[in-house]
Every structure is written in structure tokens, then in C-alpha cells.
Structure 1
Amino acid sequence: MTHPEPRFTPLRERHEALGASFTDFGGWSMPVRYTSDLAEHRAVREAAGIFDISHMAEFLVAGPDAGAFLDFALSGRLSTIADDQAKYSLVLDAAGGIVDDVIVYRQHAERFIVVANAGNRDAVATAFAERIQGRDVRVEDWTDRIALIAVQGPASPAVLADTTEISGWTTPLGELGYYRMAHADFVPSPGAEPVPVHIGRTGYTGEDGFEVFGRTEDALAMWDALRRAGEGHGLVPAGLAARDTLRLEAGMPLYGHELSLDVSPVQVGLGRAVARGDDDFVGRSALAAEATGRPVLVGLAAEGRRAGRAGYAVRDESGAEIGVVTSGALSPTLGHPIAMALVAPDHAATGGTLSIDVRGTLVPATVTELPFYRRTK
């Protein structure tokens, strides 16, 4: 379903009360910042940040053929992941282009939750509908039923541990591994009956963190409970601006920037998300026949303060254009400009020197491995 007017998450009133600035993102009116992009970014790196990500699209995939359906509809082998395990995967088109990148959570052999990007909700829904092909599976769009809140940063485990409204974890918090999910009970108000929540140790910041799935009607209570628990741990509300610089430092791709229908998984370093062997999935034949020589994704690190932005040309030593910046910013953590760019493969060697054309000024940049930032624990 297409929504021509911006939509609001169930946490809109909390964002307004906090003085957030808003922007349109994937058809949703979302908080871009509350106070300072830099302060929110640093809070996530040093303590914790709380993000409203209820704009993300969620799909229930259930039935005896759920695993087999996802193996065909997505690029990875999902039927073999364990119960309560998550896996990153891709929705490809027949030509091998990327329709969307998703995270799949398996609750049990016949029940999965697929989380897609907000702006690709319709595209993913259409792809799933076309790929059922008589399988005994149902796909339901649960986006409007689910509120999703992320708590990210080194203090995030302490925040979740101190959220007294959440109890009865199926996996103890201290034992919950990365890309795993636990189930728990949440009490939305004193004396109320507990309701189920699902907590994934996943995120989009390069830090330890959690994503809490609950009912839309419980969103305000979940947000308030997590914020109360975070008061002693430096937790701050964080918006899309900080989320973008955090994911860029962590080398995580963003749809519409690094990912699109015009690029393949191998070009952007996502070959790991593609099943090997004889697996049959949409896009497999095109990937097998993919020509060499297509642009590849690299990291670029520069000095000074002038950052390359998406769409800026990347040039070689002769001044010839050999690529384009897909994302770029002045890194709050590293203190210098960083960018991801698609460049000709013969200019992709780590350590090479290229230039970013920043509004007519050529800024030297060194090709570097991704990610730019990696947490130490």
C-alpha cells in the first residue's frame, strides 16, 4: 500500500515533547535530531542511544513451506538458521539487482519475521507475493502492528537489565548472543497484564545493542520504560542524523546510496549474503553470469574538514572520473572525512590515493578497508 502523505510512528508525541526536528524518510515523518547530531552520535559510541525505528517494515512469513519460500525469495539460505537466530539477507530481482536488504528472524521452523526498509515496503511485499508460487506459506504485512525501538551503545545491556517492566526472558540477557532473539514479558502499566515482546541483539550502529519488538499500542509505554531505565546510564534519544553517521563509520550500507537495483551483491561486498552451491533463488542465474569490471564499493579516508557527499565524483591522479561517492560525512568518532564510493575495480586497491571532487576542489583521499570503525568489545 502506497502512502502519499508522510506517516507518523506511534511515538510522534514523545518526539515533539523532546523538541525533535523532523524529516521525511521513506514516506515517514521521522526525528532527524533532538539536540545535536554530534552529541547523539557520541552518546551511542560512549554510552547509549534510543532510536524510534517503528517506520521499518515487518512481514510475518509462516507455514510449512516458510523456510523453503525464503530460500527462494531471498539470496541466503534461511531454512537452516536456528530458532531465535537472525540473519542478514537480500531481496534480489531477476537481473541480480538489490530490491532491498533485510534481516530475518526465525522464531521456529514455520514462522519467520522479515524486517525490511520503510521505503521498500511495497517493493518487498510485491516480490514476496510473486514468489509464493503455490507454496504452503502465508505472508502478512505486520508493519502497522509492530512498534520497534532500538537501544544501542556499550551501556545498552545495562539499560535493558534495568528495565524492570521487562521480565521472563527466554534467554538470559547475559547469554543472548549477537544476531539472536529472546522473548519476554512487558508490563505496559502498573497492574496491567504482561504482553509479549521480542528482543533481538541486532542494530545498525556498529555498537552492541538491542531492537525491541512490541505492539503498536504499547509503543509509548515501552519508550518511557526504556528511557527511565537509561537515566543512570547516559541514554539519550537519537535521531536519523546520528544513525546515519554511526552506520557510515561502521561501513553498513544504506538502500538508495550503496544499494539499489543497479548494483549486485558482489559489487558492494555482500557476497557473504548470497547462498552458494546449487541453491535456487531469484537472481541466481544473473549473478552467476555477472560480468567483471563493474564498479566496486570502497572506503575513502581524507584529511581536513571537507567531506565528500553522495553524488560527488571520485577522480584518479589524471583528473578522470572513475567513481562516485555513495555516502560521506565528517566522522564524529575519527575526526576526519570518510566516504563510501563505487569506483572502477582497477582503482580499488587499499592504500591507493584518489580525489573527491568537493564542489570543484579536489580533496585527496586514501582507499581504505571497511569498516572505518570497529568496536573493541
Structure 2
Amino acid sequence: MTETKSPLHDEHVALGAHLTEFGGWLMPLRYSSDIAEHRAVREAAGLFDLSHMGGISITGPDAGAFLDHALVGNLSGLRPLRARYTMLCAADGGVLDDLIVYHTGADEYFVVANAANAGTVLVALLERAAGFDVAVRDVSAGQALIAVQGPRAEEILREVLTEDATVSGGTALDDLRYYACIGMRFGEATVLVGRTGYTGEDGFEIWVELAHAVPLWRALLDAGEPYGLVPAGLSARDSLRLEAGMPLYGHELDTTTTPYDAGMGRIVKLDKVSDDGTPVEFVGRAALEARRDSAPTRVLVGLRGTGRRPARAGYAVVPPEAEASDGGALGPQVGTVTSGAPSPTLGHPVALAYVTPELSAEGTELAVDVRGRAEPFVVVPLPFYRRGDA
């Protein structure tokens, strides 16, 4: 299989990036060191190429009603120039992908999908559009996505982009709230800027036409250097999102997992209604309503390591007194780690794991089978890190 190259591929090569396959794309894993890039985002700013993410345009008179039917959230109630985190679920309630939806204009929405799931999301939306007056179009190939994340992000953005009332929808950058978006100018080009991100820091995600992607990347690098900005790869992005307690599809979320299993039942809007006041029968509604009203069989928790060895995805969670079986594995298994790593910000291992409900309370002492050794962990609240903590 040949991976798709980012429109910024040559820029990454010139910067000495170590490249890796991710979601069918060849993307930068790191440029210098994982820890240095992680800390730059926490202390100053990082520049990310996210062009592997899928972009799907939804337009037409029924756009809002269609998204209410297709997704678990109430998107018709989303105000213009605002964004919302939501999910696309199968009829049985399993998560096909988690998404961000921007309401970009009258009867216009923009759906951002994970790279590995972009095709699945497009097919599902096209199928679910039957009977609605909407156009569903994959616009990924014509755009790049660049993110600036970190406490200096807004200052850097102002060095490169300019405000223009004709494309901003009347909102100034000073007034741009978290999970909102505006149009801005990069020279003569218009870019869509969302105050969104996947790091737990303030920051922006910028959708730009391909012709302007390389000049914008270079301009942000140059403008950001005095502020401490560095290019950052997928490794830092993963450790940052883990500290912020954010799920990653294929780890915390998959087709066997409902939003309720992942502790995100709040994004499922079972009470959404159509214009005539009737309940919206969105895909997965019956299964999700049944799941809401049933006792959980597993709970997603945060684990703080009290030792030094980190847990990794797929490792077994066991009681602290677990003993090795004849096969060498510790047991009994009471859960499974979905994501885990040392925390550069906090200085100790952190992990996300699904565990049995009776062991999910804060303060519960557990262990993780790390290559046959019971490493101590304790259940702690999520997120592990919140902006301003360090």
C-alpha cells in the first residue's frame, strides 16, 4: 500500500522529520524529540500538519435537519460560526467516528473526520442523506489543515493572518470563543480558522486551499520562531491529547463502544426534535437510549502511575495483588489499557483504561501487567492536565 503524502510533505522532509504511516498517510512523527515538541506546546506553541484529516461539506436547505438525523448531536441548533464535537454511530450505537462540525454559513456545515475513517464517514453520510435536500461533498483533496497550538498561539496567528469583516461573519479574533470559527485573510486568500484543537491548550486549526498551504506553513514557522514555536509531530500530539484526557479513535472509541461507554453520553441528544416538534429518529437512537438506561459493563477511567514504568495500549489491568498464572500473565484481568505513556508535563505515567464498574471509583488502587510485572496505578479524575495547571 502506498501512503498518501501531505501537501506539506516536502516541508517536513526539509525540516528533517521522521515520517510514519498514519491512517493511510505518510505524516511526521517527530522533528527533534517527542518531549521537546510536547513541552513547546505546553510552554509556547507547536505547529502541526493535520492535512490527513477528512473534510466534508454539507450544504442545502435541509443541512441542519440532515445532520440531526445522521449524527448523535443537535446540529440544527448550532449557531452560525460555532463548532461542536459529536459522533457518527451505527444503528447498534457503536461509534463509527468522532467528529467536529462547524456551522460555516446559512445552510452550510463543515464536517471534520479522522483520517482513517474519512471514507467510512463519507459513505455513511451519503447513505443517510436520502430524502434530504442536501449536497454531501468530500473537499479534502483541495485543502490543507494546519494547527497552531499553545499559549502563544494567538500572538503568532496575528503576525500572519489579518481580520476582514467581509469574511469574518462580524466576529473579531478577540471575541472568538472556544469551539467557534471565523474567516480570516492570508494575503488575498481566505482561510477558515477554528479555535479548536487536540492538545488541551489554546490554539487554532486553519483550513487553507492547497495553493496557499506551503506559504502559510512557512509564514507561521517564521513568525512563531521568536515566540518559541516549533514544528510538532504525531507523537507529541498523542501525548498532549492523552494528558488532556481526549479519546483517540481505535483506542478509546471503536464500533464496539458507544458514547456512553466512553463517558460521553452528554453529547448524545435523545431529546432533539424537528421543526414540527416531533422527536428526531437519528441513526442509533433506539440502541443508545437502551444503553443509557442500562447498567454499564465497563467504565473508562484515568490511571496515574505511582511507579516509573508506563502502561501501553492493550496491557491488562489487574488487582494490585495479582499473581502470575501458568501461562505467565498476571490475573485476574479487570480491565484493559487503551492509551498510556509517560507524561512529560506531570512527570509520571498516565493511562486511559476500561475497567469493571466496581473498580472505577477515584482512588481505587489497581495494577497494570507490564511485561509480567504488576506496576502500581491509581484511578484519578480526568483530564490529567488542565490548562493553567503547569
Offset of residue 196 of structure 1? 1.0
Offset of residue 292 of structure 1? 2.0
1:246 alignment partner in structure 2: 240
TM-score, normalisation: structure 1: 0.95
State the secondary structure of the residue aligned to 1:162.
helix
1:116 alignment partner in structure 2: 113
Matched, 1:322 2:334: yes
1:368 alignment partner in structure 2: 380
2:59 to 37, 40, 62: 62
State the secondary structure of the residue aligned to 2:334.
strand
- Counterpart code for 2:68: D
Structure 1 residue ranges (4+ consecutive) displaced by more than 6 angstroms after TM superposition: none
1:303 to 303, 306, 311: 306
Matched, 1:202 2:178: no
1:191 alignment partner in structure 2: none
1:190 alignment partner in structure 2: none
State the secondary structure of the residue aligned to 1:289.
helix
1:129 alignment partner in structure 2: 126
- Counterpart code for 2:342: L
1:202-240 Cα distance to aligned partner (Å, 9 max, x none): 000000000011101211011011112112110000000
Please tell me whether the aligned partners of residues 51 and 151 of structure 1 are also in contact (alpha carbons under 8 angstroms). yes
For residues 342 and 265 of structure 1, the distance between their equivalents in structure 2, rounded to whole angstroms, comes to 13
State the secondary structure of the residue aligned to 2:151.
coil
- Counterpart code for 1:200: G
For residues 252 and 135 of structure 1, the distance between their equivalents in structure 2, rounded to whole angstroms, comes to 33
Please tell me whether the aligned partners of residues 167 and 186 of structure 1 are also in contact (alpha carbons under 8 angstroms). no
Offset of residue 29 of structure 1? 0.3
For residues 214 and 34 of structure 2, the distance between their equivalents in structure 1, rounded to whole angstroms, comes to 23
2:210 alignment partner in structure 1: 216
Matched, 1:152 2:168: no
- 1:97-116 alignment, distance < 5 Å: 97-116=94-113
1:281 alignment partner in structure 2: 282
1:44 alignment partner in structure 2: 41
Matched, 1:173 2:197: no
For residues 280 and 38 of structure 2, the distance between their equivalents in structure 1, rounded to whole angstroms, comes to 40
Offset of residue 318 of structure 1? 4.9
2:92 alignment partner in structure 1: 95
- Counterpart code for 1:245: S
- Counterpart code for 2:310: A
Offset of residue 289 of structure 1? 1.6
For residues 72 and 115 of structure 2, the distance between their equivalents in structure 1, rounded to whole angstroms, comes to 20
Matched, 1:77 2:78: no
For residues 63 and 144 of structure 1, the distance between their equivalents in structure 2, rounded to whole angstroms, comes to 21
- Counterpart code for 1:79: S
Please tell me whether the aligned partners of residues 304 and 378 of structure 2 are also in contact (alpha carbons under 8 angstroms). yes
1:261 alignment partner in structure 2: 255
State the secondary structure of the residue aligned to 2:218.
helix
How high is the sequence identity, in percent, across the aligned residues? 52
State the secondary structure of the residue aligned to 2:40.
helix
Cα RMSD (Å): 1.2
For residues 383 and 117 of structure 2, the distance between their equivalents in structure 1, rounded to whole angstroms, comes to 25
- Counterpart code for 2:228: G
Q: Gapped runs of 5+ residues in structure 1?
A: 188-193
Please tell me whether the aligned partners of residues 341 and 349 of structure 2 are also in contact (alpha carbons under 8 angstroms). yes
1:59-91 Cα distance to aligned partner (Å, 9 max, x none): 000000000000010000000111000000000
TM-score, normalisation: structure 2: 0.92
1:241-260 Cα distance to aligned partner (Å, 9 max, x none): 00000000000000000000
For residues 94 and 125 of structure 2, the distance between their equivalents in structure 1, rounded to whole angstroms, comes to 16
Offset of residue 175 of structure 1? 1.3
1:186 alignment partner in structure 2: 186
State the secondary structure of the residue aligned to 2:252.
coil
For this pair of structures, how many residues does the alignment match? 367
For residues 142 and 88 of structure 1, the distance between their equivalents in structure 2, rounded to whole angstroms, comes to 20
Offset of residue 56 of structure 1? 0.2
For residues 351 and 248 of structure 1, the distance between their equivalents in structure 2, rounded to whole angstroms, comes to 19
For residues 324 and 17 of structure 1, the distance between their equivalents in structure 2, rounded to whole angstroms, comes to 40
Please tell me whether the aligned partners of residues 61 and 112 of structure 1 are also in contact (alpha carbons under 8 angstroms). yes
State the secondary structure of the residue aligned to 1:19.
coil
